[in-house]
A and B are shown apart, each in its own frame.
Chain A
Amino acid sequence: MNRFTAAGHDERVTSRVGAWLGVAFGLCFLTGLLSHAIQHPPPWFGWPSGPVWLYQATQGVHVVSGVAAVPLLLAKLWSVYPKLFDRPLIRSPLHALERGSILVLSGAAFFELVTGLFNVAQNYLWGFYFPTAHYAVAWIAIGSILVHVAVKLPVIRRAWSGREVDADRRRFLRTTWLGAGVAVVATAGATVPLLRDVSVLAWRSRGGPQGIPVNRTARAAAIAVPADWRLEVVTAAGTRAFSLADLTALPQATEVLPIACVEGWSASASWTGVRVADLLRAAGSEPGAPVRVTSLEREGLYRESTLPGRHTEDPATLLALRLNGEVLSPDHGFPCRIIAPSRPGVLQTKWVTRLTIEEIQ
């Protein structure tokens, strides 16, 4: 029985769509791994503090290639859909294993794309902690892709050699690329400034206090800045406290740096404040060692972050007091926040109350 004769179900089409889907998932996997390592650095891992847009770029690629993978995955599955109805259902134990592995592959692929898309929309259909699940299934997805390519390599080679791809098949492929292009244009404005007004389905707008979006408002974080607020800088020599007036009296620097969220949106702004390196020297310490940053926020996963030594040394790393020329609004971290180059937004701690120098052991 040959019910599916359309051009889309040809192995030459399957392997070409599959190649692009593999590229999209590969990019997602590598950039995701990077983002994971920056947030949970193993001892051997180091992430550069420049260029300033580096994390913005890798996380933008992560989210954009994930979005492009949606139409590619659907086209790929449509291309092989007839195989679902192959009879007999199972020919041998090896065949059963292969069919089972395809279920794992498509389950993992859908899981990553669906949870990723709902997560960037901050729409939590699930109760579990997204990063742990997304990270675990990423390994399952990439592992089953590699096994799948290993199994299908003879078919892939046959599909790429010899016979020309005819007009009908080329049309199916063109429509697939069109779908991927539409998906990218509709969303990439979340991070690509040129597309900001074109991407009608991007999850950030031009809004936000002082022109920059906010992921956690002062109200959501239950922030109340005490009247006697001081910034404590804890060094080996002891603790020094700085009032807001003290911080304003220190030499001020201005840097243009992006806030780049793990959720793929980003926005650049001009930040003014004290260079962290200068502040550490003023407190009687030296930059170059990691610094633990503590927020006024009492609860929440991101109330503390650790600035690596490379970032405390970088002159672009600021303890910002002003944003786009104005005093930081409460939602952007008043009285002061960390803004460092090439870091995930969740680690740009707001409402800072203490900096603790973690001396190198």
Chain B
Amino acid sequence: MRTVRILLGLAGLAALAFGATLAADFGMASWRDTGQALAFFVGGPLAHDAVVAPLVGAIGLVIARRLPPAWRAPVAAGAVASGVLILLAVPLLWRPFGVPTNPGLHDRNYWLGLGIALAVVWLIAVTAAVLSQRRPS
């Protein structure tokens, strides 16, 4: 195991070093680009640790404490699916710097699509909950 760890570590450090030289080339070319890219780099973990994770925790607590047992798993699964769908829809729906849509690209009604997807998710979640409630446990 020791050899495997050393080899993995060395391969990782080599990739990191190469990535660092590419990043340095990128950064040296423009300060504005460096600032923006760094903001994206640090922004992800910050937004996750300070906003997304506490929100997930709070929703999880509400589900665990306030819902009857039969409803917990289906509602949790429905909430996860909804969260994923909403996150993936953000770049399509919120387009402050989006280029104009092209014929055949980004030209669908994404609000309608998201609405239908969420409706299907919750229809399945509620059906699953009702069925498991009726089943004698």
A interface residues with partner B (beta carbon < 8 Å): 6, 67, 70-71, 74, 77-78, 81, 84, 103, 106-111, 114-115, 117-118, 120-129, 132-133, 135-151, 153-154, 157, 171, 175-176, 178-179, 182-183, 186-187, 200-209, 212-217, 265, 267, 331
Contact = CB atoms under 8 A, between A and B. Distances in A.
Interface string B103-133: 1111110101110110001000000000000
B105 A265 contact: yes
> What are the 10 tightest A-B residue pairs by CB atom distance, in nearest-first order?
A110-B44, A213-B104, A208-B104, A200-B113, A146-B12, A139-B19, A143-B15, A143-B16, A136-B22, A147-B12
A217 B104 contact: no
Contacts of A137: 19, 23, 37, 41
Interface residues of B, number: 71
A168 to B, nearest CB: 10
15 contacts: A67-B88, A77-B48, A81-B49, A123-B91, A123-B94, A125-B97, A146-B9, A179-B80, A183-B84, A183-B85, A186-B117, A200-B112, A206-B104, A208-B102, A213-B102
Contacts of B13: 143, 147
B137 interface: no
A216 B9 CA distance: 43
B89 A150 contact: no
B42 A136 contact: no
Contacts of A122: 98-99, 102, 105-106
A214 B103 CA distance: 6
A139 B95 contact: no
Interface in B40-79: 40-45, 48-49, 52-53, 56-57, 60, 73, 76-77
A144 B84 contact: no
Nearest to A181: B81
Nearest to A208: B104
B40 A126 contact: yes
A217 B20 contact: no
A139 B117 CA distance: 35
A213 to B, nearest CB: 3
B16 A139 contact: yes
Nearest to A178: B77
Nearest to A267: B104
Contacts of A108: 41
Nearest to A123: B98
Given A78-B56, A139-B18, A146-B11, A107 B42 contact: yes
